[in-house]
Amino acid sequence: MRILFIGDVVGRSGRAIVQDRLPGLVRDWKLDLVVLNGENAAGGFGITEAIFNEFLDAGVDAVTLGNHAWDQREALVFIERAPKLIRPINYPQGTPGRGAAMVEARNGAQVLVINAMGRIFLDPLDDPFAAVERELAACALKRDADAIVIDIHAEVTSEKQAMGHFADGRASLVVGTHTHAPTADHQILPGGTAFMSDAGMTGDYDSVIGMVKDEPLSRFLRRIPSGKFEAATGAPTLCGIAVETDDATGLARSVSAVRLGARLEEARPVFWD
């Protein structure tokens, strides 16, 4: 099975490259499943129902979220009728939506997608490791799902790497999101799980983590807010990770960084071309 995970989509620029490039990637790379982190899709802050539906129309099969999940208040409502929109699983009981969803891939396979959020330097939610453990115990790889993808939305690399090793051998892919800078540590862990500390941002890299540079610079230099953060709208780059799994085990056979677009050095799974 061929899986593409797309890192945090930021604002209009990020959405535009997904709509422009993804249909061709699905066709040319023969993708079976596309998962995208969309928590910054609405101007950098949250997601709307219209944007969520745009992603589905472009070929996305599941959308994960993170600490900006509820910045657009409508998300608290429409998430209940959007089974492919997945918020962090370790939100307290009673939070709208779901933290995991079974998604049917294009080849008919059943894929469990889990979203968890770290606790270091972020809101102290419930234990993400305990929440993921419950989900993996209830839905085991190959017994109950043909593949399992975990998006660990966290601030620090150590927490993301710990989640990778925690789920190694029990998930097809564990990938970090949130910090908006693609890491160079994509690998297959000893137990067969593909891992990357951060998939990177899909948006304008002539920015400060996707935001127009002036306001972040002002706050760093003067420690005083002078305006709102606004998503940068320049030429975008699509970043993520591509994984091919073994149909017999659900574990990873190959893993490659993906960088397509304006500013970063291009990377693609050449063995799929």
Tell me the C-alpha distance between 103 and 1, whole Å: 13
For residue 138, count other CB atoms closer than 10 A to its CB: 10
Report how far apart, in Å, the C-alpha atoms of 103 and of each of 39, 158, 214 are.
19, 29, 41
What tens digit of pLDDT does each residue of 177-215 get? 999 999 999 999 999 999 999 999 999 999 999 989 999
What tens digit of pLDDT does each residue of 18-46 get? 999 999 999 999 999 999 999 999 999 99
Output the pLDDT for position 182: 97
Enumerate domains of the chain plus CATH numbers.
2-272 (3.60.21.10)
What tens digit of pLDDT does each residue of 228-237 get? 899 999 999 9
For residue 182, count other CB atoms closer than 10 A to its CB: 25
Arithmetic mean of pLDDT, 63-75? 95
Higher-confidence residue of 16 and 223: namely 16
pTM, 2 dp: 0.96
Tell which residue, 52, 38, 114, has the closest CA to residue 82.
52
Per the annotation, the verdict on 165 as an active-site residue is: no
Tell which residue, 36, 9, 5, has the closest CA to residue 196.
5
The residue from 68, 153, 180, 186 that is catalytic is 68
- Residue 254 pLDDT more than 90? yes
| 3-state DSSP helix/strand/coil % of the chain, to nearest 5 | 25, 25, 50
- What Rg, from alpha-carbon coordinates, does the chain have? 17
Output the pLDDT for position 246: 97
Q: Which two tokens stand for residue 19?
A: 């709509």
- Residue 273 pLDDT more than 90? no
Output the pLDDT for position 269: 93
Tell which residue, 85, 78, 116, 117, has the closest CA to residue 101.
85
